[in-house]
């Protein structure tokens, strides 16, 4: 059992364990903040990786793939969002060394990404891409091959 540190009384909407990296990843409701935690030292190891993250998956090699939004600012005061004309969603891959690579970038207002899945060998990442705002919204499954890392 791990005693999780408090993050402004926050609740987490997603958690994922990486056996290879021996790290717990937590996605908070508050601003979509993605944290990394060493369960051996939970009180002193909590580290913010990114904010405005919609979802993530851990990979077999300890890497992390996540979906982050850029150019959208949410106002908690009146529950509205300001969307920059160049806002986008990015599918990002963070290696075990902390290096981040952008796998895909799509316009925020016209394409959505969700349902990230990682193949058991970690060589492929699948996700659902949805066309937004059209009369007949459509979705398709996309696969990115990242090779063995």
Given a contact cutoff of 8 angstroms between Cβ atoms, the answer to whether 17 and 36 are in contact is no
What is the reported pTM? 0.86
What is residue 45's predicted lDDT score, i.e. its pLDDT? 81
The pLDDT tens digits of the residues spanning 68-118 come to 999 998 777 777 788 899 999 999 999 988 899 999 999 999 999 999 999
Q: Distance between CA 145 and CA 119 in Å, rounded?
A: 10
Q: Please report, for the chain, the start and end positions of each structural domain, with discontinuous segments joined by +.
A: 12-108
């Amino acid at each position: 059992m791990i005693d999780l540190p408090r993050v402004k009384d926050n609740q987490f909407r997603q958690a994922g364990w990486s056996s290879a990296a021996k790290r717990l990843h937590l996605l908070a409701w508050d601003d979509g903040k993605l944290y990394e935690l060493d369960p051996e030292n939970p009180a002193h190891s909590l580290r913010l990786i990114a904010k405005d993250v919609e979802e993530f998956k851990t990979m077999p090699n300890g890497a992390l793939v996540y979906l982050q939004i850029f150019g959208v600012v949410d106002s908690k005061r009146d529950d509205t969002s300001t969307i920059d004309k160049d806002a986008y969603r990015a599918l990002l891959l963070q290696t075990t060394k902390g290096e981040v690579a952008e796998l895909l970038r799509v316009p925020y207002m016209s394409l959505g990404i969700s349902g990230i899945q990682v193949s058991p060998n970690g060589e492929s990442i699948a996700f659902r891409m949805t066309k937004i705002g059209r009369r007949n919204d459509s979705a398709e499954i996309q696969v990115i091959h990242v090779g063995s890392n």
